[in-house]
Homo-oligomer: A and B are copies of this chain.
């Protein structure tokens, strides 16, 4: 999905260093919706594409207008609606109750607390790199041109560009397929280095290197 979230290289967003930028969030509801989003995943309360993939489905104007945690709120709600955990209109009804001054309900479940922290700590590394990976360190590769309708991890700014494999990270299933529950076999994921002129042409800055982690399916030999 080539949406507003695919931002590498875009202009017009202004400076990076702005007042307040150092903090991870500014209001108490922000870490709470983050936590709630994780919990809905862990507890199986949502359905369909994950939070990240769901946020990419926001319409572009809405995506750019929303704050970071507004996007998380949106994706949490969409996933809950898809599963049927909540029904259309229920959020608005609860908003009205809270706006009218009703106290937020509370519910304690220490077992769930232990479960979620355990889940945050669990380790789950990628498979090791396959012995028969198509490319090896030092190989020149070209990123395929593509316009995937759905989720992808191949940003627009590297498509068609030529780079050099630095290493094989490991094996992983293609998110372009797994996001939608489609079958996918583990395939090599490479670290590919691009010289900046091969991405952006001439620039005011001295040349630099951009490295991306790219699935085998995104690449072709030069």
Contacts and interface: CB of A to CB of B under 8 A. Distances in A.
A1 B11 CA distance: 6
Q: How many copies does the complex hold?
A: 2
A12 B59 contact: yes
Contacts of A3: 10-12
Interface string A61-77: 10111000000000000
A37 interface: no
Contacts of A2: 9-11
A59 B13 contact: yes
Name, among A3, A159, A199, A203, the residue most crowded by chain B CB atoms within 10 Å (CB to CB).
Answer: A159
B12 A146 contact: no
Contacts of A12: 1, 3-4, 57-60, 63
Interface in A73-105: none
Interface string A182-207: 00000000000000011111110000
A160 interface: yes
Main secondary structure of the interface of A (DSSP, over half): loop
B11 A200 contact: no
Interface string A130-156: 000000000000001111010000001
A167 to B, nearest CB: 25
A219 interface: no
Contact of A199 (B14, B58, B145): B145
Given A144-B201, A145-B198, A145-B199, A60 B1 contact: no
Name, among A1, A60, A197, A200, the residue most crowded by chain B CB atoms within 10 Å (CB to CB).
Answer: A60
Interface residues of A, number: 34
A152 to B, nearest CB: 11
A214 interface: no
Nearest to A147: B200
A161 interface: yes
Contacts of A64: 4, 60-61, 64-65
Given A3-B10, A12-B59, A64-B65, 9 more contacts: A4-B4, A4-B60, A10-B60, A11-B149, A14-B59, A145-B161, A146-B201, A147-B200, A147-B203
